[in-house]
Structure formats: structure tokens, C-alpha cells
Structure 1
Amino acid sequence: MVTGIRPGAKDGFLLEEVPWDRFPEGARVREVMERLRSGDAAAGGALATLIGLCANDMRAAVSPTVPFLIRIATGPKNGHHADVLAVVGEVARMRHQGVCMRADMLRFRGDDEWSFEVTGYLQNWSVQAAREAIAADVDLLLPLLGDPDPAVRIATAYALAAASDRAQDILTAFRSRLLFEHNATARAGLVLAIAQLARAHQGLGMAEWMRAHSSDPARQPEVRVSAALGWMCLTDLPVPDDLHAMLDNLATDETAQLMAPLPWMAEVETARDSGLHRCLRTMLHPGMPDVEECDDPWS
């Protein structure tokens, strides 16, 4: 249904052509989109409503917003482009709920199993609809990989990594941008975006590319660490000793802080542990309990 929204309705922001009443919370979502269309100064709160619905596993009504949000993000600057793109990326993924195992961290949760939203709506449909909507507008999003704001570049990579199609075009753009990216956090984000794209589109390969980048001493620390995470998510091979040693040396508190703004890391961080260190501990030492579990006096 989302991909069936006609181009003129997307470009003209014709919200009335979307059957919002078919979806749980649809009327509420339409009100949010009306505020965004009007340029409401409280756009941040409106976007928080959409993010909140995603966090509560109620994506069905948010999925039809993706084509319109993409046009907001690619339109005149309004100070919220990164936040708008963050919604696009989130609606196209199911909640990991703390999962950061090698087989699951970059997987689109539920892509090979049935899952339902709290309303009873099929969540697989919601996520797939959003991913297809992103794929339909890849050409609008690709230029934002060169946006002056690194937060926009990071959010764009996160959104594009979820596209259901055009994977080779997106991969080429990611790798080209990585050659010129001067922001360390954005570099790490591009590597994780490449890994997630490859995880979803198996024909891309990229495990060897990740291994080569993690092993290359000429690469920046955040690139090597992110590539190591990508390699572990793309393979089930035992982790080599040299990769272990590299992570011991480069996955420092400074690297964890640098990578903390990335949505992949924010998704799994806890009040007591950074996303990076939690991922590495879970992937390298799967039998070790979480820090939260260790510190829980009731466990």
C-alpha cells in the first residue's frame, strides 16, 4: 500500500490519499504529519511521537509516512532533517530489544519469522513497507550522504541501509563517500551501514572487505573496529587472534564514545555499558552475562 501511493501525492504531500483510518493510531499519525506539513515550530515533538510509536512496536501507521518524511528531509533546511531521517530509519527496523549477538545485531528482526505489533497488526508488513518506500526514493536520499551536517549524513546512511532494493547502487555510494568522509563518527556509521546492507542482500558479499579493513593499520581506529563488528555479523567463523588483539587495542572508551551517537550503538547501550563494549562482550564472550545482570541485586 505504501509503495502504491502515487508520485503526485508524495510530491504534493497529499495526506488525504492515504487511508490512515485502516491503521491503529492512524488518526494520531495523520495529525502529526499535518503539523509537519504546516511547518509547525514544534516539529521535534511531532517527530518524537512517531519515534515513540516505533519504540512501542506500533509501526503500521508510521510506515505510510516514509515517502512524505523523505521529502521533508530532502526539502529546504528546517533544522530537523537528521531527526526526520532517524524516523525513516527506525520505522524500517524492528526493535532489537537489546540483542547484539553476531547473528542478530544487523539482521532486520523478523525478516525470516512472523512477528506482530502490540495491536495485533503484522509487524513484518510494517517494516517491509517502510523498506520498500525507502528503495523507491533512493535517488532522493543519496545526495544527502554529502550533506554538510554529519548528523544528516549518519541518519541518511542508516535509512539507506534499510532499503529493500537498489542495494548495489547504495553500496557504491557508501564506499565512495567513505573515501572522502572526514568525520570519524560518520565514517564508523558508513562501515556499519555497508555491513547491514550486505547482511540484508547476501549477494553483495563484503565479508572479505570488512576483514581487510579491520586488519589494515592504515585505516582509522573507528573504521577498523566497525569493520570488525561488520565481519563478525556477516560470518560465523571463529574470531582470529589478530582481530581479538586489534579490538583489545583500539576498542577503547574513546572509540566507544565516538561511536555512541550511531543508532546501531544507541540501540543496544545500557545505563552501565556503552553500545560498543556491550556488542563486543556479547560477540566475543557469548557466555558472559550483561553488566546489568551482574549488577542486579535481585538476579
Structure 2
Amino acid sequence: MWSEEGMEFHAGTVEDVRFVVAHMPVEVKNGFVYGAVPWSNFSHAYGPGSDVPDLLEQARTGDERSSNEALSKLSGRLLQQGTSSAAGALAIPFLVRIVVALPFHRAGILRVIAGLARRQYFGDGSRTGLLRAARADDQIVFEPSGYLANWSVQAAREALAADAGLLLPLLGDPDPEVRQASAYALAAVPNRPASVADCLSARFQDEEDPAVRACLVLAIGQLAWEERHPDTIDQMCAWWQDYNQPAEVRVCAALTWLCLTDGPAPDNLRAFLELSITDDLAALLESIPWLDHIVDGGLRRCLDQMFYPEKYPHFTTELD
């Protein structure tokens, strides 16, 4: 890569998973025509992706136990320890259709989809990291196979964007775990499409489950992160200062506002967060996807990273 054309080595060819995903016909995706996809050209944590089609089909057509076994294997191979893979990006169009059709395992599948469309960020609750899906363009990261992880995450996000409309109805699923995971997955869609942003906002108005409300706030914020969308910044500022909003909404809005803005945290915001986070609220928020990976302190560790970034140079340096 370095000796030839850097990041553009093999870009736009059949060796580029972004190219392959972008040119996957809808008939292939809808018909589960696995044979039309060059799985063996791309790898996961345990080798070539040629074993992925059989596992996808077992997940799609098996009984609940058999499907769960296949999904467990897929998660371990495509998203090993939170690290995305090129084979995982190829699998997203099929996983999206499986999660829509299956009556079980939906939350777990959505978490896999969301993980594939994000950089590996376990433990990172910093202002520059909590809502960040992709790495900087000039930061090259490789998968265990040697493939360019930047391309895999980008391909996964684009695959998710192409089929986001299939997932939007799951924001109203009867299972709150599915609603949480749907918001988490949709938040990784790039370029803040209006259809996704509007549906997340509409769902927020009707949502009654506290954990799902928290997820929706963070999802709305994450969609706006790359462009620092000014309307979202204003909305988050209004929410965290609104005494009529429940605590989980105000706290997540404050976290999101910190992620969307630069400069020191205002004294009144810091005071609000320090006074508002009870053990019960911390336990609630540490169960949601954005915060459950922050070990040794969860929500309070997240705040420590945001207020004292100098203590966590391995996060701030990585994303500068």
C-alpha cells in the first residue's frame, strides 16, 4: 500500500469492498443470492469469508436454536472483539433482511450490524469518540487479515445507508431492546439522511421507555456529529436545560452537546451532570449500546474522559 498509492491502492476495483458493496444488485440482496458475492476475496477474523453464506442461510431459515448458533458464529467471526471486517460489510445487506424477517434475535443482529458500521471504540467515551463512527481519513488501520479497516467500516456504513428504510419500522418494535438497537444501528448511517433523522425525532416524541429515549437522543446526536449540524446542537442545548425532560434525556442531551461542540464545558453543565447522575440513572444508561462498552466506571468514566481528556491521551491522540 505505502509503496504504490497509499490509501488508493486498488480503490474502485473488485479488491475494494466499498466498490463491491456499492455494486451489489438489489435482486441479489432481496433474493439472498449469495453466490453472486465474492466472499472468498474478503476475510473476517478467522480467515476468508467463504463460510459466511452458509451461516447467513442457517440464521435465516433455521429454527430459533439453530439460528442463534449461526448468529453467534457470525458475530464472533465478522465482529471479533468489536473489530469490523470486510466480510462483515458484505454481510450487512443480508443481515438487514434477516433481522426484518426473523421473529427472534432481532436486537442481537442489530447490534452486530451497528458494530460493523463503526470503528473499534471499546472504552472510548471521550468528546471526540463517543459519537464517532469512522476514523479520520488520514488514519490507516488494518484488520487482523491485513485488509484496510477504514474501507470495511465505510463499506458497512454505505450498505446500511442503502437499506436504512428497511430498518426504520423497527424503531416501533414492541421489544424495547429492539428499539434501542435499531436506533444504535441507524445512527451509523453517514451523511445524515433526512428520512432517518426525521424518524428518530418522531419516535422520540412517542417513546415511553427511558432507556430507548436515551438511545434516541444519542442517535440523533450521532447522525449530526460529522457535520456538527447546528439545529441538533441547539436542540441538545435546549433539552439538557429543560426541567420538564426526564433525567435520562437531559443527561444524554448534555453528553451529546459536549460531543458536538468544542471548548471547555460550561460550569452550569458540569454542575448539572455532577448533581444529576444517581446510581440508578448510571445503571440505566450503562446498559445502552453507546455506554455499555465503557468499563471500570461506565457513565462516570465517560464524564471523566470528557472533562479531563489529558488523563486519556490514548483516545484524544488517536482521533486528533
- TM-score if structure 2 supplies the norm length? 0.84
CA shift, 1:49, in A, is: 2.6
- Structure 2 counterpart SS, 1:140: helix
Corresponding residue number in structure 2 for 1:265: 291
Corresponding residue number in structure 2 for 1:97: 122
Distance 2:141 2:284 in 1: 34
Corresponding residue number in structure 2 for 1:47: 71
Distance 1:58 1:124 in 2: 9
Distance 1:155 1:16 in 2: 29
* Aligned-residue RMSD, C-alpha: 1.9
| Aligned with residue 38 of structure 1, among 61, 74, 86 | 61
Corresponding residue number in structure 2 for 1:87: 112
AA of the residue aligned to 2:187 = A
Is residue 279 of structure 2 the alignment partner of residue 253 of structure 1? yes
Is residue 263 of structure 2 the alignment partner of residue 244 of structure 1? no
CA shift, 1:289, in A, is: 6.9
Is residue 31 of structure 2 the alignment partner of residue 12 of structure 1? yes
Structure 2 vs 1, CA of residues 76 and 37 (structure 1 numbering), >3 Å: closer, same or farther? closer
The percentage of aligned residue pairs carrying the same residue is: 42
Preserved CA contact (<8 Å) 2:84 2:119: no
Preserved CA contact (<8 Å) 1:132 1:165: no
Distance 2:177 2:157 in 1: 21
Which digits, 9 at most, give the CA deviation of each residue in 1:185-234, with x for residues without a partner? 00000011111111134446411211111111100000001001101111
Is residue 135 of structure 2 the alignment partner of residue 110 of structure 1? yes
Corresponding residue number in structure 2 for 1:296: none
Structure 2 vs 1, CA of residues 198 and 58 (structure 1 numbering), >3 Å: closer, same or farther? closer
AA of the residue aligned to 2:40 = D
Is residue 242 of structure 2 the alignment partner of residue 233 of structure 1? no
Distance 1:45 1:259 in 2: 29
Corresponding residue number in structure 1 for 2:302: 279
CA shift, 1:45, in A, is: 3.0
Preserved CA contact (<8 Å) 1:138 1:166: no
Distance 2:256 2:227 in 1: 14
AA of the residue aligned to 1:172 = D
Preserved CA contact (<8 Å) 1:135 1:165: no
Is residue 176 of structure 2 the alignment partner of residue 172 of structure 1? no
Which digits, 9 at most, give the CA deviation of each residue in 1:225-252, with x for residues without a partner? 1001101111112211211121112222
Structure 2 vs 1, CA of residues 139 and 204 (structure 1 numbering), >3 Å: closer, same or farther? farther
Distance 2:284 2:268 in 1: 23
AA of the residue aligned to 1:96 = Y
Structure 2 vs 1, CA of residues 13 and 246 (structure 1 numbering), >3 Å: closer, same or farther? same
- TM-score if structure 1 supplies the norm length? 0.90
Preserved CA contact (<8 Å) 2:59 2:68: no
CA shift, 1:288, in A, is: 4.6
CA shift, 1:76, in A, is: 4.3
CA shift, 1:261, in A, is: 2.2
AA of the residue aligned to 2:183 = A
Task: Output aligned runs, 1:192-203, within 5 Å.
Answer: 192-203=218-229
Is residue 94 of structure 2 the alignment partner of residue 63 of structure 1? no
AA of the residue aligned to 1:48 = S
Give the unaligned 5+ runs of structure 1. Answer: 291-299
Preserved CA contact (<8 Å) 1:51 1:90: no
Preserved CA contact (<8 Å) 1:214 1:223: yes
Preserved CA contact (<8 Å) 1:94 1:108: yes
Corresponding residue number in structure 1 for 2:216: 190
Distance 2:23 2:178 in 1: 27
| Aligned with residue 168 of structure 2, among 139, 142, 147 | 142
- Structure 2 counterpart SS, 1:2: helix
